[in-house]
Chains A and B, each alone.
Chain A
């Protein structure tokens, strides 16, 4: 089945370390997104990309960077992790032209920064 996968699923790291979260999709979608989920805050958009050469900041991009290596791959980096970046991170995809921006989500990466 066409799918959205995230690696790793769980990661524990220390303050100051560089971390990369990876997302791959086999849906053939051109748009990809990174969100973080915190209890009581819902999902907040970090970065999004409408194609390989397009990168856009979301509402909470500070402290994060992204790379769109190919249409199917979109990675999120924390250059120097801090404890308040402890959260559940989701990758999502959507397809231009559907007119609705319905998004399809990966299973999430649980990141803990000590």
Chain B
């Protein structure tokens, strides 16, 4: 069985500040990990993914995430928040075969 925990249903930052969204996972097999973003009234868009190899993964719009096996974490970061980053972010884990399991999401709020 696999599961995802996203710490914090809402995270507020000021424009220009560091963004840190936390994700911890549980998986019985080596996981594949994803971050998706959902802008208002839109579907989910892939931000980045970890499959194998380099543990620091770079995605679109300046986001990156680091896979830490010892901590079972895959936290999402961005050095400097922009107003356009305001959205809901979902972490997901896959065993590579059957289905994706999603976290409950974190709403990122960016203030001027």
Interface of A toward B, CB cutoff 8 Å:
4, 33, 40-45, 48, 58, 90, 92, 99-108
Contact = CB atoms under 8 A, between A and B. Distances in A.
Contact of A103 (B9, B100, B103, B104): B100
Given A40-B9, A43-B90, A105-B43, A99 B96 contact: yes
Interface string B38-61: 000011111001010000000000
B63 interface: no
Given A40-B104, A99-B51, A58 B43 contact: no
Contacts, number: 54
A90 B43 contact: yes
B91 to A, nearest CB: 9
Given A90-B44, A102-B46, A105-B43, A42 B104 contact: yes
